[in-house]
Chain A
């Protein structure tokens, strides 16, 4: 059985690429693996005299050869490739290293198998085909096949056995590549612009569905910026201890342990919500002050939306500006530092206002109206001489008297 299969294996492995297969390469340049031979390939006599003679190679058509040359070029640029010999030394259609011979590597074949019966002092490479190391065959370097396989039929490979599949060539790098200034600038701009869009969309959503809460935070923030800012700092400092207390409180009751993950998520969501609400509130105030809307031109909601978009654009615009200088690291660092500082101050004040207003649910109490004063008795003409005018009562003096 074994003796029957061996010639078949050798025949399959030994036959070089036919013209039809070469044409198939041209049609399917990204094919994972090329067939070694057609099913009707010629059988070769069994070992030790089994050697596929180079004369067995078929002449490839010009188009097939050109296609293979393109494949070889792509392989040269591949990061997983090993150094190849000069283009004219890559054997198109396959190659055989006869027994008893030693070739200086690298030895390469394309579009047909590389049979190693002798010794390759260096790397043995097959592109679009297989490397087959037969009994007695020896590769002192690596055995590499691109879009094929490395088959050991009793031979030895001192180095690594490597098979590549998928797209060959220089890979357009995303994260792993070294960033060029233009690319990093483009990436930074895309990122900050995306944030601008996200925040504008969030602003619209908040205005539509939580406009009252936003109004509450704006009320709390207006005229009390300093207080809101310090409240924001206090909130930031308290976040970690409050979370720890929450976890401990839940952990004290054994059943509560199960709720800990949910409590952590809820806590994070609540804080994120407050920060967003606060930031949008301060963005709106900023927008109103920078570009006040003409009262007749916009509805109340339209004016609020305009102020929000302007405010958000101002704050995120700082980041976009910093991103635009990603090609100049020093300038970018300075601008980014400015953006960080301003954003932090704004976010902290907004967070403080959101906390003080309980998420916008508690409006700041309006100033107490002056107590109604009956002016009638005081409308008598003040005597010009002789009588001291009585002191007009005010709400505060009335309170003092009480």
Chain B
């Protein structure tokens, strides 16, 4: 049996080894940018499958600047700007998630810098990534972040100079933290998550009232609201807890005591099946 077994297994082992050897990597760097000609609005679509991604404002007179490190044997960079439609597609084709034991330092990364003067309709389509989206200083007219399994941070350290019509975050299984979201200058913020941990800090400069919709199936949602902002929470929950310290029930919703007198208000509509919703009004 041994001889027969070895005859059967030897080609199989050889074939599997050949298969693993075929998966050789070819790391490259690509840097692309485009000079800024005017400040007309532009639509930016960022596609990135796996790795680390960072987005921030550029200090140079450029419309965009991308520094990409990628495995050319598995992914294909995308960088196309339609000058007529003013639409930029940038990033890499989404690749399959591979568990090949590579270290973080060997993973791909993308650093994207965008113009501070151009109003941007920014759409980020991310896969399994670790993202750091520092949108401080950018002029964002609309923001949409869609991500599968990710650890994402979104930050606005200064007021968005353009009114944002919509800030939409859609997550699969993720950890998401949004810092100083009042600076996003958005009247409507929507966060939709499957499973995960969502932390939203509504600090920053308030210029208008805000509607915040949070829909999470399973997870923990924590919303930090400055003490001087009026809060009204409508909650639809199946099996979930709601920490509402400092809020009182009125007309089927929970409102802060300063609701009638607050200069700015946030109306929170939350839906959760399993999980926990916390409203923190102590300020951060």
Write the residues of chain A forming the contact surface with B, with a CB cutoff of 8 angstroms.
79-80, 152, 156-167, 171-176, 186-187, 189-191, 193-194, 196-197, 200, 247-248, 251-252, 254, 257, 260, 306, 309, 313, 320
Binding site for A on B (CB under 8 A): 1, 5, 8-9, 11-13, 15-16, 18-20, 22-24, 26-35, 72-77, 79, 81, 93, 95-96, 218, 239, 241, 274-276
Taking CB atoms, residues of chain A closer than 8 Å to B26 are 166-167, 171-172
Are the CB atoms of A161 and B35 closer together than 8 Å?
yes
B18:A166 contact, CB within 8 angstroms: no
The distance from the CB of A139 to the nearest CB of chain B, in whole angstroms, is: 10
CA of A248 to CA of B274, assembled, Å: 8
Is A257 touching B274 in the complex (CB atoms < 8 A)? yes
Q: Evaluate whether A257 and B276 lie within 8 angstroms (CB atoms) in the complex, with A197-B13, A306-B1 already known.
A: yes
Asked if A162 contacts B72 (CB within 8 A), the reply is no
A187–B19 touching, CB < 8 Å: yes
In the complex, what distance in Å separates the CA atom of A193 from the CA atom of B16? 6
- The 3 A-B pairs of least Cβ separation, nearest first, read A190-B19, A166-B28, A193-B12
Which partner residue on chain B sits nearest A145 by CB separation?
Answer: B31
* Contacting residues, chain B, for A248 (C-beta < 8 A): 239
Cβ contact within 8 Å between A187 and B31? no
A191 touching B19, Cβ below 8 Å: yes
The CA of A46 and the CA of B1, in the complex, are separated in Å by 84
Known: A190-B15, A190-B19. A165 touches B30 (CB 8 A): yes
Bound CA–CA A190/B15 (angstroms): 5
Q: Is the CB of A171 within 8 A of B15?
A: no
Chain B residues closer than 8 Å to A79, beta-carbon distance:
72, 76
Chain B residues with CB below 8 A from A152, complex form: 35
Complex Cα distance, B75 from A174, in Å, reads 9
Chain B hits for A167, CB < 8 A: 26-28, 72
Q: Which residues of chain A are near B35, meaning CB under 8 Å?
A: 152, 156-158, 161
Q: Which residues of B contact A191 (CB under 8 A)?
A: 19
Complex contact B9–A200 (CB within 8 A) = yes
- How many angstroms between the C-alpha atoms of A313 and B11 in the bound complex? 14
| Residue numbers in A under 8 Å from B16 (CB-CB) | 190, 193-194, 197
Chain A residues whose C-beta falls within 8 Å of the C-beta of B33 in the assembled complex: 160-161
Q: Say yes or no: B218 contacts A260, CB within 8 Å.
A: yes
Question: Does A162 lie within 8 Å of B32, measured CB to CB?
Answer: yes
- CB contacts (< 8 Å) of B218 on chain A: these are 260
User: How far apart are the CA atoms of A171 and B30 in the complex, in Å?
Assistant: 14
* CB proximity of B94 to chain A, nearest CB, Å: 11
18 contacts between A and B (CB under 8 A): A159-B34, A162-B32, A164-B31, A165-B29, A166-B29, A172-B73, A173-B74, A174-B22, A176-B95, A186-B15, A189-B15, A190-B20, A197-B16, A247-B274, A251-B274, A254-B276, A260-B274, A309-B5
Cβ of B34: which chain A residues have Cβ within 8 Å of it? 159-161
Min CB–CB distance A395 → chain B (angstroms): 45
Contact, CB under 8 Å: A176 / B22: no
With A164-B28, A166-B29 as contacts: A176 and B241 at CB distance below 8 Å = no
> Given the complex, which residues of A lie within 8 Å of B15, measured CB to CB?
186, 189-190, 193-194
In the assembled complex, how far is the CB of residue A262 from the closest CB belonging to chain B, in whole angstroms?
Answer: 14
Q: B274 to A190, Cβ gap below 8 A?
A: no
* Contact among A160, A197, A200, A309 with B32 in the assembled complex (CB-CB below 8 Å): A160
Tell me, rounded to whole Å, the shortest Cβ–Cβ distance linking A312 to chain B: 11
CA distance A148 to B145 in the complex (A): 34
Given contacts A171-B72, A176-B74, A197-B13, 4 further A-B contacts (CB under 8 A): A79-B76, A172-B73, A197-B12, A254-B241
**In the complex the two chains form, what is the Cα distance from A283 to B93 in whole Å?**
41
Q: Roughly how many angstroms separate A167 CA and B95 CA in the complex, as a whole number?
A: 20
Distance from B6 Cβ to chain A, minimum over Cβ atoms (Å): 12
Chain A residue nearest to B80 (CB atoms) is: A160
Q: A37 to nearest B CB, angstroms? A: 22
Bound Cα distance from A172 to B76, whole angstroms: 12
Give the Cβ gap from B246 to chain A, nearest Cβ, in Å: 21
Indicate if the CB atoms of A174 and B274 lie closer than 8 Å.
Answer: no
Query: Across the interface, do A160 and B29 meet the contact criterion of CB distance under 8 Å?
Result: no
What distance in Å separates the Cβ of A299 from its nearest Cβ neighbour in chain B?
Answer: 12
A260, B173: Cα distance in complex, Å: 14
A313 to B4, CA, bound (A): 12
Residues of B within 8 A of A161 (CB): 32-35
Closest to B28 in A: A166
- By beta carbon, the residue of chain A nearest B79 is A160
Chain A residue at minimal CB-CB distance from B32: A162
Chain A residues positioned under 8 Å from B274 (CB to CB): 247, 251, 257, 260
Query: Which chain B positions have C-beta within 8 A of A189?
Result: 15
> Which A residues lie within 8 Å of B239 (CB)?
248, 251-252
B contact residues around A80 at 8 Å (CB): 30, 77
Q: Is the CB of B12 within 8 A of A186?
A: no
Instruction: Write the nearest CB–CB distance from A145 to chain B, whole angstroms.
Output: 9
Q: Taking A163-B30, A166-B28, A190-B15 as contacts, is the C-beta distance between A174 and B77 under 8 angstroms?
A: no
Interfacial chain B residues near A320, Cβ < 8 Å: 12
Across the interface, A196 reaches (CB within 8 A) one of B12, B24, B27, namely B12
A323 CB to closest chain B CB (Å) equals: 10
Closest to B274 in A: A251
CA distance A37 to B81 in the complex (A): 34
Closest B residue to A176 by beta carbon equals: B76
Contact B79 A175 (CB under 8 A): no
B204 to chain A, nearest CB (A): 31
- Nearest chain A CB to B162's CB is how many angstroms away? 26
Are B95 and A187 in contact (CB-based, < 8 A)? no
CB distance from B193 to the nearest CB of A (A): 15
- Contact partners of B72 in chain A: CB under 8 A: 79, 166-167, 171, 173, 176
| Contact across chains for A163 and B31 when beta carbons are under 8 A apart | yes
